[in-house]
Amino acid sequence: MQAVILVGGFGTRLRPLTYTTPKPLLPVANVPLLEHIIAALSTADVTEVVLALGFKPEPFLAAFPDGMCAGVSLRYAVEPHPMDTAGAVGFAARYAAINDTFIVVNGDILTDLDVRALVDFHRQQRAVATLHLTPVEDPSQFGVVETNDSGVVQRFLEKPQAHETTSRSVNAGTYVLEPSVLDHIPIDQSLSIERVVFPALVATGSLSAMSTDDYWIDTGRPETYLKANLDLIDGSRSRILASVAAQAHIAGTAVVTHSVVGDGCQIGGGAIISDSVLLPGAVVDSGARVEASIVMGHIGQGATVTDCVIGIDGRVDPRTTHVGEKIPDPATL
Ligand code: GTP
Protein backbone atom coordinates (compact mmCIF):
# COMPACT_ATOMS: atom_id res chain seq x y z
CA MET A 1 0.00 0.00 0.00
CA GLN A 2 1.12 3.56 -0.65
CA ALA A 3 0.94 6.44 1.81
CA VAL A 4 1.33 10.20 1.42
CA ILE A 5 2.80 12.12 4.34
CA LEU A 6 2.22 15.88 4.40
CA VAL A 7 5.53 17.44 5.35
CA GLY A 8 5.55 20.72 3.44
CA GLY A 9 4.23 23.14 6.06
CA PHE A 10 6.21 26.06 7.48
CA GLY A 11 5.87 24.92 11.10
CA THR A 12 5.45 28.51 12.26
CA ARG A 13 4.35 27.59 15.78
CA LEU A 14 7.62 25.76 16.40
CA ARG A 15 9.80 28.68 15.38
CA PRO A 16 12.66 29.32 15.95
CA LEU A 17 13.36 25.54 15.85
CA THR A 18 11.85 25.18 12.37
CA TYR A 19 14.00 27.93 10.87
CA THR A 20 16.72 25.33 10.54
CA THR A 21 14.94 21.97 10.79
CA PRO A 22 11.53 21.24 9.23
CA LYS A 23 9.06 20.03 11.86
CA PRO A 24 8.89 16.39 10.62
CA LEU A 25 12.67 16.10 10.93
CA LEU A 26 12.82 17.37 14.52
CA PRO A 27 13.76 14.45 16.74
CA VAL A 28 11.31 13.02 19.23
CA ALA A 29 13.29 11.10 21.85
CA ASN A 30 16.26 11.24 19.45
CA VAL A 31 14.44 9.70 16.47
CA PRO A 32 13.12 12.01 13.70
CA LEU A 33 9.36 12.53 14.01
CA LEU A 34 8.98 11.35 10.41
CA GLU A 35 10.75 8.09 11.19
CA HIS A 36 8.29 7.39 14.04
CA ILE A 37 5.41 7.98 11.61
CA ILE A 38 6.85 5.80 8.85
CA ALA A 39 7.73 2.99 11.28
CA ALA A 40 4.07 2.93 12.38
CA LEU A 41 2.88 2.85 8.75
CA SER A 42 5.24 -0.02 7.95
CA THR A 43 3.28 -2.21 10.38
CA ALA A 44 0.18 -1.61 8.25
CA ASP A 45 1.57 -3.01 4.98
CA VAL A 46 2.74 0.37 3.70
CA THR A 47 5.71 -0.28 1.41
CA GLU A 48 6.04 3.13 -0.25
CA VAL A 49 5.72 6.60 1.22
CA VAL A 50 5.39 9.71 -0.91
CA LEU A 51 6.63 12.76 0.97
CA ALA A 52 4.49 15.78 0.02
CA LEU A 53 7.20 18.42 0.23
CA GLY A 54 7.14 22.17 -0.13
CA PHE A 55 9.02 24.29 2.41
CA LYS A 56 12.68 23.20 2.75
CA PRO A 57 12.72 19.92 0.76
CA GLU A 58 16.54 19.58 0.79
CA PRO A 59 16.91 18.43 4.43
CA PHE A 60 14.55 15.52 3.71
CA LEU A 61 16.68 14.32 0.82
CA ALA A 62 19.77 14.66 2.99
CA ALA A 63 18.19 12.84 5.96
CA PHE A 64 17.38 9.73 3.92
CA PRO A 65 20.08 9.61 1.23
CA ASP A 66 19.34 6.03 0.20
CA GLY A 67 15.64 6.81 -0.24
CA MET A 68 14.63 4.45 2.58
CA CYS A 69 13.23 5.09 6.05
CA ALA A 70 12.23 2.43 8.59
CA GLY A 71 12.40 -0.17 5.81
CA VAL A 72 9.95 1.74 3.59
CA SER A 73 10.95 3.26 0.25
CA LEU A 74 10.49 7.01 -0.14
CA ARG A 75 9.48 9.21 -3.06
CA TYR A 76 9.71 12.97 -3.00
CA ALA A 77 6.93 15.10 -4.52
CA VAL A 78 8.15 18.70 -4.33
CA GLU A 79 5.40 21.28 -4.88
CA PRO A 80 6.25 24.26 -7.07
CA HIS A 81 4.30 26.47 -4.62
CA PRO A 82 2.53 25.81 -1.27
CA MET A 83 -0.64 23.94 -2.21
CA ASP A 84 -2.27 23.55 1.21
CA THR A 85 -3.36 20.13 2.43
CA ALA A 86 -5.64 18.93 -0.39
CA GLY A 87 -3.51 20.47 -3.13
CA ALA A 88 -0.52 18.68 -1.61
CA VAL A 89 -2.33 15.32 -1.48
CA GLY A 90 -3.42 15.75 -5.12
CA PHE A 91 0.04 16.75 -6.28
CA ALA A 92 1.76 13.86 -4.45
CA ALA A 93 -0.80 11.22 -5.49
CA ARG A 94 -0.59 12.24 -9.15
CA TYR A 95 3.21 12.43 -8.97
CA ALA A 96 3.35 8.83 -7.66
CA ALA A 97 0.54 7.65 -10.01
CA ILE A 98 -1.48 6.34 -7.04
CA ASN A 99 -4.44 4.35 -8.38
CA ASP A 100 -5.54 2.29 -5.38
CA THR A 101 -6.72 2.87 -1.79
CA PHE A 102 -4.04 4.92 -0.03
CA ILE A 103 -3.25 6.45 3.36
CA VAL A 104 -2.57 10.11 4.13
CA VAL A 105 -0.92 11.23 7.35
CA ASN A 106 -0.16 14.72 8.65
CA GLY A 107 3.56 14.93 9.27
CA ASP A 108 3.19 16.20 12.82
CA ILE A 109 1.07 13.47 14.43
CA LEU A 110 2.27 10.73 16.76
CA THR A 111 -0.24 8.02 17.54
CA ASP A 112 -0.53 4.37 18.52
CA LEU A 113 -3.50 3.97 16.12
CA ASP A 114 -3.76 0.55 14.47
CA VAL A 115 -3.70 1.85 10.88
CA ARG A 116 -4.65 -1.58 9.56
CA ALA A 117 -7.88 -1.42 11.59
CA LEU A 118 -8.66 1.99 10.04
CA VAL A 119 -8.17 0.53 6.53
CA ASP A 120 -10.43 -2.43 7.39
CA PHE A 121 -13.11 -0.07 8.71
CA HIS A 122 -12.83 2.08 5.57
CA ARG A 123 -13.38 -0.98 3.36
CA GLN A 124 -16.41 -2.15 5.39
CA GLN A 125 -17.91 1.32 5.07
CA ARG A 126 -17.29 1.42 1.30
CA ALA A 127 -16.42 5.05 1.91
CA VAL A 128 -14.56 7.37 -0.44
CA ALA A 129 -12.60 8.67 2.54
CA THR A 130 -12.28 7.64 6.19
CA LEU A 131 -10.83 9.74 8.99
CA HIS A 132 -9.31 8.74 12.26
CA LEU A 133 -10.90 10.66 15.15
CA THR A 134 -9.63 11.25 18.64
CA PRO A 135 -11.42 12.75 21.65
CA VAL A 136 -10.14 16.07 23.02
CA GLU A 137 -11.32 18.33 25.85
CA ASP A 138 -11.20 21.60 23.91
CA PRO A 139 -11.95 21.04 20.22
CA SER A 140 -11.90 24.72 19.23
CA GLN A 141 -8.50 24.46 17.52
CA PHE A 142 -9.33 21.29 15.58
CA GLY A 143 -11.60 19.95 12.85
CA VAL A 144 -14.61 18.66 14.80
CA VAL A 145 -16.52 15.72 13.35
CA GLU A 146 -20.08 14.53 13.99
CA THR A 147 -20.97 11.00 12.85
CA ASN A 148 -24.13 8.88 12.90
CA ASP A 149 -24.23 5.45 14.61
CA SER A 150 -22.83 3.79 11.47
CA GLY A 151 -19.73 5.99 11.40
CA VAL A 152 -20.88 8.12 8.46
CA VAL A 153 -19.84 11.73 8.93
CA GLN A 154 -22.77 14.13 9.23
CA ARG A 155 -20.87 17.35 9.81
CA PHE A 156 -17.28 18.51 9.59
CA LEU A 157 -16.56 21.83 11.30
CA GLU A 158 -13.04 23.27 11.12
CA LYS A 159 -12.12 25.11 14.35
CA PRO A 160 -15.71 25.72 15.55
CA GLN A 161 -16.88 28.02 18.33
CA ALA A 162 -18.18 26.38 21.52
CA HIS A 163 -21.87 26.87 20.68
CA GLU A 164 -21.59 25.29 17.23
CA THR A 165 -21.27 21.62 18.28
CA THR A 166 -21.28 19.31 21.31
CA SER A 167 -18.94 16.81 19.65
CA ARG A 168 -15.48 16.36 21.19
CA SER A 169 -14.24 14.05 18.41
CA VAL A 170 -11.66 15.71 16.22
CA ASN A 171 -9.86 14.96 13.00
CA ALA A 172 -6.71 13.15 14.14
CA GLY A 173 -4.79 13.58 10.88
CA THR A 174 -4.72 10.02 9.49
CA TYR A 175 -6.95 9.32 6.46
CA VAL A 176 -7.70 6.38 4.19
CA LEU A 177 -8.66 7.64 0.73
CA GLU A 178 -9.89 6.18 -2.54
CA PRO A 179 -8.24 7.56 -5.68
CA SER A 180 -11.66 9.04 -6.63
CA VAL A 181 -11.00 11.74 -3.99
CA LEU A 182 -8.72 13.28 -6.59
CA ASP A 183 -11.84 14.21 -8.58
CA HIS A 184 -12.42 16.86 -5.88
CA ILE A 185 -8.88 18.26 -6.13
CA PRO A 186 -8.11 20.38 -9.20
CA ILE A 187 -4.61 19.94 -10.64
CA ASP A 188 -1.91 22.30 -9.31
CA GLN A 189 -4.23 24.41 -7.18
CA SER A 190 -3.96 25.35 -3.54
CA LEU A 191 -6.87 23.80 -1.61
CA SER A 192 -7.65 22.70 1.97
CA ILE A 193 -8.72 19.10 2.53
CA GLU A 194 -10.30 20.06 5.87
CA ARG A 195 -12.24 23.09 4.66
CA VAL A 196 -13.22 22.04 1.13
CA VAL A 197 -12.79 18.36 0.29
CA PHE A 198 -14.15 16.77 3.49
CA PRO A 199 -17.27 19.00 3.61
CA ALA A 200 -17.91 18.11 -0.07
CA LEU A 201 -17.72 14.40 0.76
CA VAL A 202 -20.07 14.87 3.74
CA ALA A 203 -22.66 16.25 1.34
CA THR A 204 -22.63 12.96 -0.61
CA GLY A 205 -22.52 10.69 2.49
CA SER A 206 -19.18 9.25 1.38
CA LEU A 207 -17.02 10.36 4.33
CA SER A 208 -16.67 7.93 7.26
CA ALA A 209 -14.81 8.23 10.52
CA MET A 210 -13.52 5.88 13.21
CA SER A 211 -12.82 7.13 16.71
CA THR A 212 -10.23 5.50 18.96
CA ASP A 213 -8.72 6.46 22.29
CA ASP A 214 -5.22 5.36 21.31
CA TYR A 215 -2.31 7.54 22.33
CA TRP A 216 -2.40 10.62 20.06
CA ILE A 217 -0.57 13.92 20.05
CA ASP A 218 -0.22 16.76 17.56
CA THR A 219 3.41 17.79 18.05
CA GLY A 220 3.02 21.15 16.31
CA ARG A 221 3.23 23.44 19.37
CA PRO A 222 6.21 23.81 21.73
CA GLU A 223 4.34 22.37 24.71
CA THR A 224 3.06 19.35 22.75
CA TYR A 225 6.43 18.77 21.07
CA LEU A 226 8.00 18.73 24.53
CA LYS A 227 5.32 16.38 25.86
CA ALA A 228 5.69 14.00 22.88
CA ASN A 229 9.39 13.67 23.75
CA LEU A 230 8.88 13.12 27.46
CA ASP A 231 6.03 10.65 26.89
CA LEU A 232 8.51 8.41 25.06
CA ILE A 233 11.00 8.24 27.91
CA ASP A 234 8.82 8.11 31.01
CA GLY A 235 6.55 5.13 30.40
CA SER A 236 3.51 7.06 29.15
CA ARG A 237 3.71 5.13 25.87
CA SER A 238 3.69 1.41 25.20
CA ARG A 239 7.45 1.59 24.60
CA ILE A 240 10.23 3.49 26.34
CA LEU A 241 13.18 5.04 24.50
CA ALA A 242 16.56 6.03 25.93
CA SER A 243 16.60 9.60 27.17
CA VAL A 244 20.29 10.35 26.56
CA ALA A 245 21.97 9.88 23.18
CA ALA A 246 25.23 7.94 23.10
CA GLN A 247 27.30 10.88 21.88
CA ALA A 248 26.22 13.40 24.55
CA HIS A 249 28.78 14.84 26.98
CA ILE A 250 27.42 15.30 30.49
CA ALA A 251 29.65 16.43 33.36
CA GLY A 252 29.58 14.10 36.33
CA THR A 253 28.18 16.80 38.62
CA ALA A 254 25.33 17.80 36.28
CA VAL A 255 21.84 16.61 37.17
CA VAL A 256 19.50 15.55 34.34
CA THR A 257 15.96 14.49 35.23
CA HIS A 258 12.98 13.65 33.00
CA SER A 259 14.69 15.09 29.93
CA VAL A 260 15.90 14.10 26.48
CA VAL A 261 19.53 14.85 25.61
CA GLY A 262 20.57 14.64 21.95
CA ASP A 263 23.79 13.66 20.22
CA GLY A 264 26.70 16.03 20.67
CA CYS A 265 25.06 17.99 23.51
CA GLN A 266 27.41 19.35 26.15
CA ILE A 267 26.28 19.86 29.73
CA GLY A 268 28.70 21.49 32.16
CA GLY A 269 29.34 20.75 35.81
CA GLY A 270 26.57 21.58 38.28
CA ALA A 271 24.05 22.28 35.51
CA ILE A 272 20.49 21.17 36.26
CA ILE A 273 18.23 20.01 33.40
CA SER A 274 14.64 19.00 34.11
CA ASP A 275 11.52 18.28 32.00
CA SER A 276 13.36 19.52 28.89
CA VAL A 277 14.59 18.52 25.46
CA LEU A 278 18.15 19.34 24.45
CA LEU A 279 18.35 18.93 20.69
CA PRO A 280 21.53 17.65 19.04
CA GLY A 281 24.45 20.02 19.57
CA ALA A 282 22.87 22.10 22.35
CA VAL A 283 25.29 23.47 24.95
CA VAL A 284 24.46 24.15 28.60
CA ASP A 285 27.34 25.72 30.50
CA SER A 286 28.21 24.97 34.10
CA GLY A 287 25.78 25.99 36.79
CA ALA A 288 22.98 26.77 34.31
CA ARG A 289 19.42 25.65 34.94
CA VAL A 290 17.05 24.49 32.15
CA GLU A 291 13.44 23.73 33.08
CA ALA A 292 10.53 22.70 30.78
CA SER A 293 12.39 24.08 27.76
CA ILE A 294 13.51 23.05 24.29
CA VAL A 295 17.08 24.00 23.47
CA MET A 296 19.02 23.92 20.21
CA GLY A 297 21.44 26.75 21.03
CA HIS A 298 23.67 27.76 23.93
CA ILE A 299 22.80 28.48 27.57
CA GLY A 300 25.51 30.50 29.33
CA GLN A 301 27.06 29.80 32.72
CA GLY A 302 24.68 30.16 35.64
CA ALA A 303 21.72 31.24 33.44
CA THR A 304 18.19 30.00 34.13
CA VAL A 305 15.62 29.27 31.39
CA THR A 306 12.09 28.10 32.14
CA ASP A 307 9.37 27.34 29.55
CA CYS A 308 11.61 28.62 26.76
CA VAL A 309 12.32 27.61 23.15
CA ILE A 310 15.91 28.33 22.13
CA GLY A 311 16.75 28.09 18.41
CA ILE A 312 20.08 27.11 16.93
CA ASP A 313 21.27 30.75 16.93
CA GLY A 314 19.85 31.38 20.38
CA ARG A 315 22.47 32.38 22.96
CA VAL A 316 21.44 32.96 26.55
CA ASP A 317 23.88 35.22 28.35
CA PRO A 318 25.51 33.96 31.55
CA ARG A 319 23.62 34.59 34.79
CA THR A 320 20.44 35.85 33.06
CA THR A 321 16.94 34.54 33.73
CA HIS A 322 14.34 33.87 31.03
CA VAL A 323 10.77 32.64 31.42
CA GLY A 324 8.38 31.78 28.57
CA GLU A 325 10.60 33.26 25.84
CA LYS A 326 11.51 32.24 22.30
CA ILE A 327 15.14 33.06 21.57
CA PRO A 328 15.70 34.43 18.97
CA ASP A 329 12.17 35.84 19.03
CA PRO A 330 10.42 34.97 15.72
CA ALA A 331 8.27 38.11 16.11
CA THR A 332 11.35 40.31 15.66
CA LEU A 333 12.96 38.41 12.76
P1 GTP B 1 2.10 25.79 11.58
O2 GTP B 1 2.68 26.80 10.62
O3 GTP B 1 2.75 25.86 12.92
O4 GTP B 1 0.60 25.82 11.65
O5 GTP B 1 2.49 24.31 11.06
P6 GTP B 1 2.30 23.64 9.62
O7 GTP B 1 2.92 24.49 8.58
O8 GTP B 1 2.87 22.26 9.72
O9 GTP B 1 0.75 23.62 9.39
P10 GTP B 1 -0.32 22.56 9.91
O11 GTP B 1 0.11 22.02 11.23
O12 GTP B 1 -1.65 23.17 9.81
O13 GTP B 1 -0.20 21.45 8.77
C14 GTP B 1 -0.66 20.14 8.95
C15 GTP B 1 0.20 19.22 8.10
O16 GTP B 1 0.09 19.59 6.73
C17 GTP B 1 1.67 19.33 8.46
O18 GTP B 1 2.20 18.03 8.39
C19 GTP B 1 2.25 20.22 7.37
O20 GTP B 1 3.61 19.87 7.06
C21 GTP B 1 1.36 19.92 6.19
N22 GTP B 1 1.16 21.05 5.27
C23 GTP B 1 0.53 22.23 5.54
N24 GTP B 1 0.51 23.02 4.44
C25 GTP B 1 1.13 22.30 3.46
C26 GTP B 1 1.43 22.57 2.08
O27 GTP B 1 1.12 23.63 1.50
N28 GTP B 1 2.08 21.58 1.40
C29 GTP B 1 2.45 20.40 1.97
N30 GTP B 1 3.09 19.50 1.23
N31 GTP B 1 2.20 20.12 3.26
C32 GTP B 1 1.54 21.07 4.00
The DSSP code sequence of 96-151 is TT--S-EEEEETTEEE---HHHHHHHHHHHT-SEEEEEEE-S-GGGSEEEEE-TTS
Name residue 28's amino acid. Answer: V
Give me the phi and psi of 75, to 5 degrees please. -125, 155
Ligand 1 atom closest to 13 (CA): 3
Q: Where do the domains of the chain lie?
A: 2-221, 242-332
CB 23 within 8 A of CB 294: no
Name the pLDDT band for 331 (thresholds 50, 70, 90): confident
List the residue whose alpha carbon is closest to atom 23 of ligand 1.
9
CA-to-CA distance for 43 and 114, rounded, in angstroms? Answer: 9
Q: Give the pLDDT confidence score for residue 282 in this predicted structure.
A: 98
CA-to-CA distance for 114 and 44, rounded, in angstroms? Answer: 8
Does the domain spanning 242-332 belong to CATH 3.40.50.720?
no
List the residue whose alpha carbon is closest to atom 9 of ligand 1.
9
Q: Considering the chain, what is the average pLDDT of its residues?
A: 95
pLDDT digits (tens, 9 = 90+) for 92-146: 999 999 999 999 999 999 999 999 999 999 999 999 999 999 999 988 888 999 9
Q: Give the pLDDT confidence score for residue 238 in this predicted structure.
A: 83
Residues 6+ apart with CB under 8 A from 326: 15, 16, 308, 309, 310, 311
Burial class (CB within 10 angstroms; exposed 0-12, middle 13-18, buried 19+) of 252 = exposed
CB 214 within 8 A of CB 5: no
Pairing mode of beta strands 143-147, 249-250? unpaired
Decide whether 2-221 matches 242-332 in CATH topology: no
pLDDT digits (tens, 9 = 90+) for 162-214: 888 888 999 999 999 999 999 999 998 999 999 999 999 999 999 999 999 99
- Kindly tell me if the per-residue pLDDT of 55 is higher than 80: no
CB 249 within 8 A of CB 266: yes
* Mean of pLDDT values over 214-229: 97
Pairing mode of beta strands 143-147, 207-211? unpaired
CB 155 within 8 A of CB 202: yes
Pick the CATH number of 2-221 from 3.20.20.10, 2.60.40.3080, 3.40.50.1110, 3.90.550.10: 3.90.550.10
List the residue whose alpha carbon is closest to atom 31 of ligand 1.
8
Mutate to test the pocket of ligand 1, among 4, 5, 6 (most ligand atoms within 8 A of CB): 6
* Mean of pLDDT values over 302-331: 96
Q: Give the pLDDT confidence score for residue 250 in this predicted structure.
A: 97
* Mean of pLDDT values over 66-70: 94
- Kindly tell me if the per-residue pLDDT of 333 is higher than 80: no
Q: Is 276 strand, coil or helix?
A: coil
pLDDT digits (tens, 9 = 90+) for 228-280: 999 999 988 888 888 999 899 999 999 999 999 999 999 999 999 999 999 99
CA of 330 to the centre of ligand 1 (A): 18
Name the pLDDT band for 285 (thresholds 50, 70, 90): very high
Name residue 234's amino acid. Answer: D
Residues in contact with ligand 1 by the CB-under-6-Å rule are: 6-13, 23, 52-54, 79, 82-85, 88, 106-108, 220
* Mean of pLDDT values over 74-80: 95
CA-to-CA distance for 259 and 231, rounded, in angstroms? Answer: 10
CA quadruple 27, 29, 33, 34: dihedral sign: positive
- Kindly tell me if the per-residue pLDDT of 302 is higher than 90: yes
Name the pLDDT band for 11 (thresholds 50, 70, 90): very high
List the residue whose alpha carbon is closest to atom 22 of ligand 1.
9
Ligand 1 atom closest to 15 (CA): 3
pTM of the model: 0.94
Q: Give the pLDDT confidence score for residue 80 in this predicted structure.
A: 92
CA-to-CA distance for 301 and 273, rounded, in angstroms? Answer: 13
